[in-house]
Amino acid sequence: MQKRELLQYKTISVQELRTNMPEISKNLEYGIGYILIRKSKPIAELRPIQKDDMLAREKVLDFFARPPKSMLIHSKKSAVQIIREDRC
């Protein structure tokens, strides 16, 4: 497995955390985060430390807040109509 920017979340129980710590630790290095659950409720989040997170976050949200003009598309349908038809 290669190191990657994508952070995927897996859910694990407290018991699984105890027994699989070496594997979990290795996965964290590869960018996989964990949601710790107890009694079917999320109680904690375990994720790799990432540098310059805030700046990167703002840059990504900016992409959706100010999409480049060249990326705007035209449709007679609304986003809800498009998604609704897709899910039918």
Partner 1 sequence: MPSTLVIDSSVFLSAFLEKEVYHKDSICFFEDLKKVQYKIIVPSLVIFEVLNNFYRHGGNKEQEERIFRNLQNSSAFSLIPLDSNFLEKIYLPLHHHFDLKTADSIFATIAFFYEAVLISWDKKLISQTKKHIQALTPKEFLKHS
Q: Which residues bind partner 1 (CB under 8 A)?
A: 5-11, 31, 33, 37, 40, 42, 50, 52-54, 56-58, 60-67, 70-80, 82-84, 86-88
Whole-number minimum distance, CB 22 to partner 1, in Å? Answer: 18
Q: Which two tokens stand for residue 31?
A: 């960018």
| Contact (Cβ atoms closer than 8 angstroms) between residue 82 and residue 75 | yes
Distance between start and end Cα atoms, the chain:
37
β-pair partners for 12: 36
Whole-number minimum distance, CB 79 to partner 1, in Å? Answer: 4
Whole-number minimum distance, CB 13 to partner 1, in Å? Answer: 8
